[in-house]
Structure 1
Amino acid sequence: MTAVAPAPTGVAAPALVLPMPGEPLPAECRREDCEERLRRALAALRETLAGHPPTALRPPADEVSRVRYRWLIGHHAAFGVWQSLARVLHALTAASEAAVGSLTAWAAALYDTYSVLFLYAGSCTPELYAAMLRPHMTAAHPAFSGGWSRDHASVLAALRAARDQHSPARIAPLTRAVKDNRRVHMAVAGTLVPGGASLLQQSGRHPGHGPTEDEQALYDDYFHVQRQPLCRVAHWAQLVRVLGQCTADIAGHGLGLAPEGCPERFTRDALELLTAPALAGEPPLQIHRPPKGRKA
């Protein structure tokens, strides 16, 4: 089991284990407990949705600690979703006509999950963000930026490829989810940083200039991410576990009102959108149907 250590956010949590983007997730590995870990993670998620979250999934009780907790755990969940989303988008790019519909539904569901996670990670007040989170990032690097994430960059590249391959009509649900995600991003950013200037912009760096390898490594270190090979089932078990933590927190403490400009469905249906892919019970590329319970 991965050792628990304090992340730079001040939260003690297991490191998130991810392969480098683009590395294959083998169907099998040398560990014998991956299937059991997935079974336990899904059972804990279902218990949480039934109103009985296991102790291991419960968030800190006080608001200030939950700000740091949500920032770290929300990002951990987003990184796992991004890796799964990039793989689904690559599969969509290469898909036969018969598979386009199901893969588009999966990609849209994962984008919606990411939108809820963005709301979750950034659900604190502007005052707490300015006092607690922004200084931590500035201390790590004056130009600290979400654009340094290896995993999100891989999603953007895969999305461009899928759009180039398929007509807008064929992937309309995905397009809607992407547009809604951008609305969420703008709404949260506008609430947390009313002036609109990111650390990257304040540092004088142009957003179009890509990050260096050192900056990407620093981003991983900040969010306590370890890069090493991982099998498909282990990746999914880890993601379901972290989504269970987010679910327990939202179920107990809520997300608050949707920021201005954010589609209301992401707060109204937060738990459904957050957990729909996980409750399908299988990693996305092992199925040929949209997640159960998802609406067209």
Structure 2
Amino acid sequence: MPEASVERCDTALVLRELGELAGGLLPADRVSGALESARTSSFDQLFWFRWITGHQVTFLIWHLMERLLSAGPEGDVPSSASLAKLEAYVYGYCAMLLYCGSCPRDLYDSLIRPRMFLQHRAFSGTWAPDFAPVRGLFRGRDLLGAQGREAAELSRAVEVNRAVHEGIAARLVPSGRSLLQQSMTEVPVRPSERTAVIYDNFFLTLRAPVSDEAVTAQLLRRLRAVATDLAANGLHPLGDDSEARPEELLREEVLRCESRIGHLLHQVGEAAAGHAYESRLRA
């Protein structure tokens, strides 16, 4: 998880703030200083913050998804309640893709991609330790036995996620060649414990055994920071770039995610808080 030591987190307060920020109600007495700080950041600082923090939120979402998928006996289909939470997390991942991918292409080329290359010339998202347990879900394999409305809505969320992922990749890397693909002419670098450490190191992530309550606290604090940034700067602080977007990002369901990004963050926070509460009851 992104940090080993965990401060106390007022879950109810943060959830209320996320709801207020999503609804455009800025609670000035609690977040005005954070809003002012977010507004005064340089664009390099802002988009670097989004790249790192958005990925950290994503790792936490994947971790919570894996806990849901592995909660029952192997081969069992998740309950309707678990499917609904998985849907919230998938849309939360959509929100993080849009958030991380909001940087201008020239800034990605000049700031973000070179730093990943300096970390390793084959640096790749496939090295993310938290993704392997949920890869099957995003490829449509893990829920073949699920039935009903919740399963259908989760499948729809996965399709939207695929469109967002492809659209962000097409916008930021129009050549279609990632660092890993560029390095394929050399010796291939396969995911390993070493590449996992390299990946975590880049995203300022330390791992240690922590409780579900601690994971939720880490997630809520980051969601609050992301929501505050969005309230201060909007998703596209440099202006509307719709003319430069690939067709995947212009799909109606993707634009709906973008317009509801604050609400998606709030839903992720509520799902995570519910998971932590249920874990305490089981303890």
What TM-score comes out, normalization by structure 1 length? 0.76
In the TM superposition, what is the alpha-carbon distance from 1:127 to its structure 2 partner? Answer: 0.5
1:226 partner SS: coil
Q: Which has the higher strand share?
A: 1
Distance in 1 of aligned mates of 2:272 and 2:189 = 39
In the TM superposition, what is the alpha-carbon distance from 1:213 to its structure 2 partner? Answer: 1.3
Q: Does 1:265 align with 2:231?
A: no
Contact 1:75/1:121 (8 A) holds in 2? yes
- Residue 207 of structure 2 corresponds to which residue in structure 1? 227
Letter in 1 for 2:267: A
Distance in 1 of aligned mates of 2:134 and 2:177 = 24
In the TM superposition, what is the alpha-carbon distance from 1:268 to its structure 2 partner? Answer: 1.1
Distance in 2 of aligned mates of 1:195 and 1:40 = 44
Q: Deviations over 1:221-274 (max 9, x none)?
A: 111111111111111011011011111111221123564312111111111112
Letter in 1 for 2:211: C
Letter in 2 for 1:180: V
Identity %: 30
- Residue 5 of structure 1 corresponds to which residue in structure 2? none
Structure 1 residues 83 and 39: CA distance shift in structure 2, 3 A: same
Structure 1 residues 158 and 264: CA distance shift in structure 2, 3 A: closer
- Aligned runs of 1:100-179 on 2, under 5 Å? 100-157=79-136, 162-167=142-147, 171-179=151-159
Letter in 1 for 2:206: Q
In the TM superposition, what is the alpha-carbon distance from 1:193 to its structure 2 partner? Answer: 0.8
Deviates more, 1:251-260 or 1:230-239: 251-260
In the TM superposition, what is the alpha-carbon distance from 1:209 to its structure 2 partner? Answer: 6.8
Q: Which has the higher helix share?
A: 2
Q: Does 1:183 align with 2:163?
A: yes
2:123 partner SS: coil
**Residues matched between the structures, number:** 259
What TM-score comes out, normalization by structure 2 length? 0.80
- Residue 237 of structure 1 corresponds to which residue in structure 2? 217
Structure 1 unaligned blocks of 5 or more: 1-14, 19-29, 288-296
Q: Deviations over 1:133-166 (max 9, x none)?
A: 0000000000000110000112114666632442
- Residue 175 of structure 2 corresponds to which residue in structure 1? 195
Structure 2 unaligned blocks of 5 or more: 279-283
Structure 1 residues 235 and 54: CA distance shift in structure 2, 3 A: farther
Distance in 2 of aligned mates of 1:165 and 1:190 = 33
1:162 partner SS: coil
Contact 2:94/2:257 (8 A) holds in 1? yes
Contact 1:37/1:234 (8 A) holds in 2? no
In the TM superposition, what is the alpha-carbon distance from 1:286 to its structure 2 partner? Answer: 4.5
Contact 2:91/2:264 (8 A) holds in 1? yes
In the TM superposition, what is the alpha-carbon distance from 1:73 to its structure 2 partner? Answer: 0.8
1:17 partner SS: coil
Q: Provide the alpha-carbon RMSD of the alignment.
A: 3.1
Structure 1 residues 79 and 96: CA distance shift in structure 2, 3 A: closer
Letter in 2 for 1:276: Q
2:273 partner SS: coil
Letter in 2 for 1:273: L
Q: Deviations over 1:63-111 (max 9, x none)?
A: 12101111111111111111111112223776988x7222111101100
Deviates more, 1:84-93 or 1:106-115: 84-93
Deviates more, 1:138-147 or 1:169-178: 169-178
Contact 2:216/2:276 (8 A) holds in 1? no
Q: Deviations over 1:11-64 (max 9, x none)?
A: xxxx9226xxxxxxxxxxx98x64x55455445545644313253575352212
